[in-house]
């Protein structure tokens, strides 16, 4: 297969330096809601100036360029080993070019590898074979501060009178937002997975963050729940950066996954306002980025 | 917005209140998880002996921190090959991880400004009153914009901690910050959390 290392490098650069339009639009709408001159408005103005500047200068929006999470859908027969090798090369090059900060630390020795490569786990890649002839690669850069406020609830969760139903999901989701306060770089986006086992729950809660902020969940019950959590999370008035204000979350995305009869997990991933996710589709005509 | 230059005096610090915005200039140091642990273990609680260049680094940074600021930041840095360093992206990291250490570190070095994001807890708030000092909130994620206010990288220590965890000595000009914890015992973070708790309890009909 063709060497796509340069294209993967462009995908990383694009994701790190150019915030998706739906996220930037949501931040602009949030600014309109806040009182002029307030700390919340000041924070959003700074954020938006920074987004424009990063795009213009092609430098990272945030210095924490996060854990690179690749979701790869590939045609039948394409070698995942070859793709993984090219992605690793691109990530190391992107680190050298300062599109990424070196973020791979040996947990025993504390030594930073310096190039974002760390064993089988970094960068993180999820492969899926699909029927299309195109290679479709989604990249999410997920920062450590927002990752630290992610959480998982085993239901029922008695402290909040949260049972094994959608009302229970609502209750623990609000709890996650309350506990995060401004620490995950509010206003954030919530990715929620209902069901699955513990590890698949976390994966699902991240994959659902690839959805656009302005889309609608095809499952009516979940669409309604997303709207309800979105409205009430913003009533908590934690605000941008936790300064107090009207916008605490920019969006809520929920995935429902099947579960073991004995288990009912609700997993919440918090994505900071710098919701960096970009896609590359490689067809016969070459790569297209969006 | 009030302009301030380091080193800061006790009067500078006490004149500021939660909600004030400032533009800070002068020399400051970055320091996050590894640096705080190193300071505490080696020079404050002294649970390990200084080794390698520990003492030399301590002697160099001590006068810079006296009346100065520590910035919770793991930057993206260009020029690692040549040693001609510049900051490419340099927003704040989440400060609460340093809560077990910060108060003691402030008191030991007479640090007047702790810069980060997300706020800190009661031990740091007590140290802000004692030293006196301030917690200064930078805008999380505004990394390219903040890097613009870093006019010079003066030097680096403990690069073996890794680029994000090293002690970068930087000169800043008009670094934009909001006072969210002051020397008078006030914390914006406590206020916001208390108010959001009331709404949370009423939405879930707890309490």
What's the CA gap between A193 and A141, in Å, rounded?
19
Examine residue A156 and say whether the peptide bond preceding it is cis (omega within 30 degrees of 0): yes
pLDDT in tens, A140-176: 999 999 999 999 999 999 999 999 999 999 999 999 9
pTM, to two decimals: 0.94
Phi, psi dihedral angles at A263 (to 5 degrees): -115, 145
Residue A74 pairs in a beta bridge with A129
- B88, A60 in Cβ contact below 8 A? yes
- Predicted confidence at residue B115, as pLDDT, reads 98
In chain B, what residues touch A102 (CB-CB under 8 Å)? 162-164
Which residues in chain A are contacts of B89 at CB distance < 8 A? 54, 59-63, 65, 98, 101
* pLDDT for the residue A207: 98
A19, closest residue in chain B (CA to CA): B141
Q: CB-based contacts of A246: which residues, under 8 Å, 6+ apart? A: A30, A33, A34, A40, A234, A237, A239
pLDDT for A2 equals 87
Q: What residue of A is the nearest CA neighbor of B117?
A: A183
Residue B207 confidence (pLDDT): 67
What was the ipTM of the complex prediction? 0.92
Three-state secondary-structure class, residue B12:
helix
Contacts of A47 in chain B (CB under 8 A): 139, 141-142
- Contact across the interface for A98 and B94, Cβ inside 8 Å: no
All domains of chain B, ordered by start, with CATH?
2-203 (3.20.130.10)
pLDDT digit of tens for each residue in chain B (207 aa)?
899 999 999 999 999 999 999 999 999 999 999 999 999 999 999 999 999 999 999 999 999 999 999 999 999 999 999 999 999 999 999 999 999 999 999 999 999 999 999 999 999 999 999 999 999 999 999 999 999 999 999 999 999 999 999 999 999 999 999 999 999 999 999 999 999 999 999 999 986
B36 is a catalytic site residue? yes
Report whether A129 contacts B102 (CB < 8 A).
no
Q: Is A163 at the interface with chain B, CB within 8 A?
A: no
The count of other CB atoms within 10 Å of the CB of residue A204 is 22
Q: Is the dihedral of CA A173, A183, A279, B164 positive or negative?
A: negative
What residue ranges define each of the domains in chain A, with the CATH number in brackets?
Answer: 5-15+61-143+276-289 (3.30.360), 145-271 (no CATH)
A58 close to B (CB below 8 A): no
Structure tokens at B58: 């301590």
Mind listing the pLDDT tens digit of every residue in chain A (290 residues)? 789 999 999 999 999 999 999 999 999 999 999 999 899 999 999 999 999 999 999 999 999 999 999 999 999 999 999 999 999 999 999 999 999 999 999 999 999 999 999 988 899 999 999 999 999 999 999 999 999 999 999 999 999 999 999 999 999 999 999 999 999 999 999 999 999 999 999 999 999 999 999 999 999 999 999 999 999 999 999 999 999 999 999 999 999 999 999 999 999 999 999 999 999 999 999 999 99
- What pLDDT score was predicted for residue A235? 98
Question: Three-state SS for A26?
Answer: helix
Contact: A242, B189; criterion CB under 8 Å: yes
For residue A236, what is the nearest residue in chain B, using CA coordinates?
B196
Query: Which positions in chain A touch B88 (Cβ < 8 Å)?
Result: 59-60, 63, 98
Of A59, A98, A182, the CB nearest to B118: A182
Q: Which residue of A has its CA nearest to B204?
A: A171
DSSP H or E stretch at residue B46: none
Q: Is A101 on the interface with B (CB under 8 A)?
A: yes
**Dist. CA B63–CA A43, nearest whole Å:** 32
DSSP H or E run through A200: helix A198-207
Q: What is the pLDDT of residues A99-149, one digit of tens each?
A: 999 999 999 999 999 999 998 889 999 999 999 999 999 999 999 999 999
Query: For position B89, what pLDDT does the model report?
Result: 96
3-state secondary structure A47-95: HHHHHHHHHHHCCCCCCCCCEEEEEEEEECCCCHHHHHHHHHHHHHHHH
């Amino acid at each position: 297969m063709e060497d796509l290392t340069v294209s993967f490098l462009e995908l990383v650069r694009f994701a790190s330096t150019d915030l998706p339009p739906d996220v930037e639009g949501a931040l602009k709408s949030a600014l309109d809601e806040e009182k002029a001159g307030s700390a919340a408005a000041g924070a959003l103005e700074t954020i938006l100036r920074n987004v424009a500047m990063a795009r213009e200068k092609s430098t990272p929006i945030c210095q924490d360029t996060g854990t690179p999470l690749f979701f790869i859908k590939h045609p039948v027969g394409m070698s995942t080993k070859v793709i993984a090798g090219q992605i690793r090369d691109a990530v190391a090059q992107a680190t050298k070019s300062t599109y990424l900060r070196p973020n791979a630390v040996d947990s025993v020795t504390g030594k930073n590898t310096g190039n974002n490569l760390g064993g089988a786990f970094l960068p993180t890649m999820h492969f899926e074979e699909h029927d299309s002839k195109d290679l479709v690669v989604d990249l999410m850069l997920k920062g450590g501060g927002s990752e630290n406020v992610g959480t998982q609830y085993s239901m029922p969760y008695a402290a909040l009178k949260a049972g094994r139903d959608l009302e229970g999901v609502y209750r623990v989701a609000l709890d996650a937002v309350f506990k995060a306060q401004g620490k995950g770089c509010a206003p954030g986006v919530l990715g929620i997975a209902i069901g699955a086992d513990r590890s698949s729950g976390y994966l699902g809660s991240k994959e659902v963050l690839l959805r656009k902020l302005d889309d609608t969940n095809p499952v009516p019950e979940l669409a309604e729940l997303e709207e309800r959590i979105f409205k009430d999370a913003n009533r908590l008035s934690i605000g941008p950066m936790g300064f107090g204000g009207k916008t605490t979350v920019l969006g809520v995305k929920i995935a429902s996954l099947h579960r073991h009869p004995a288990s009912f997990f609700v997993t919440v991933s918090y994505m900071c306002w710098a919701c960096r996710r970009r896609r590359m589709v490689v067809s016969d005509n070459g790569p297209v980025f969006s | 917005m009030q302009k301030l230059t380091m080193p800061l005096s006790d009067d500078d610090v006490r004149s500021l209140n939660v909600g004030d915005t400032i533009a800070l200039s002068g020399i400051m140091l970055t320091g996050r998880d590894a640096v705080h642990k190193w300071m505490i273990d080696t020079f404050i609680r002294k649970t390990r002996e200084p080794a390698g260049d520990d003492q030399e680094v301590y002697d160099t940074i001590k006068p810079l921190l006296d009346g100065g600021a520590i910035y919770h930041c793991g930057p993206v840095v260009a020029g690692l090959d040549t040693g001609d360093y510049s900051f490419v992206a340099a927003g704040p990291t989440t400060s609460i991880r340093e809560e077990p250490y910060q108060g003691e570190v402030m008191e030991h070095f007479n640090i007047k400004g702790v810069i980060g994001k997300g706020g800190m807890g009661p031990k740091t708030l007590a140290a802000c009153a004692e030293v006196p000092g301030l917690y200064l909130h930078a805008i999380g994620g505004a990394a390219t914009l903040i890097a613009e206010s870093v006019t010079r990288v003066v030097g680096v220590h403990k690069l073996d901690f890794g680029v994000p965890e090293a002690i970068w000595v930087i000169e800043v000009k008009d670094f934009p910050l909001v006072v969210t914890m002051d020397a008078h015992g006030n914390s914006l973070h406590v206020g916001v959390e208390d108010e959001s708790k009331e709404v949370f309890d009423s939405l879930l009909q707890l309490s």
